Amino acid sequence: MSRQRVADTGVELRVRRALFAEGFRYRKQVAVPGFPRRSIDIAFPRKRLAVFLDGCFWHGCSEHKSTPRSNDRWWASKIEENRRRDLETTAALTACGWTVLRFWEHDAPEKVVTAVRAVLSPDEGRGGNG
């Protein structure tokens, strides 16, 4: 697990490129207030918009979920804990006035761009957001 990327995963890079191409400016890996070891994958701090791109394996996607045969109870517990932490993080950000968008790694970057555009007005997310 120590070799598993935390930031700049393939899906993050694809989504960030798509957002940038649409003119959106964002921050990456922004600390979650009150949780120093957690971070928002893509953030629009001025508009308090947080975008998370969850990996299917690590966050238990029902569509692509797989549990390793070796040490299966430990892995089930680990994935369940990740899901609980996701809910806690979403609740904490929402309580602070943030809008939270969560996507799976298999979601198309265009889906993320469309959702971000729906939350931000056409001019709000562009240029110098920060």
Q: What are the pLDDT tens digits along the chain (130 aa)?
A: 445 556 788 999 999 999 999 999 999 999 999 998 999 999 999 999 999 999 888 888 878 777 777 888 998 899 999 999 999 999 999 999 999 999 999 999 999 999 999 999 755 545 554 4
Q: Strands 99-104 and 49-54: what pairing?
A: parallel
Angle between the N-to-C axes of helices 109-119 and 10-21, in degrees from 0 to 180, rounded to the nearest 10: 50
Dist. CA 47–CA 129, nearest whole Å:
8
Show the tokens assigned to 45.
Answer: 């701090």
Using CB atoms within 10 Å of the CB of residue 49, give its burial: 0 to 12 exposed, 13 to 18 middle, 19+ buried: buried
Show the tokens assigned to 12.
Answer: 């993050």
Q: Would you state the pLDDT for residue 68?
A: 77
Q: Would you state the pLDDT for residue 2?
A: 46
Dist. CA 63–CA 106, nearest whole Å:
10
The pTM for the full model equals 0.85
**Superfamily of domain 10-119, CATH level 4:** VSR Endonuclease (3.40.960.10)
Q: Break the chain into its structural domains and give their ranges.
A: 10-119
Three-state secondary structure call for residue 101:
strand
Q: Would you state the pLDDT for residue 43?
A: 98
How many other CB atoms are there within 10 angstroms of residue 38's CB atom?
15
Q: Would you state the pLDDT for residue 123?
A: 55
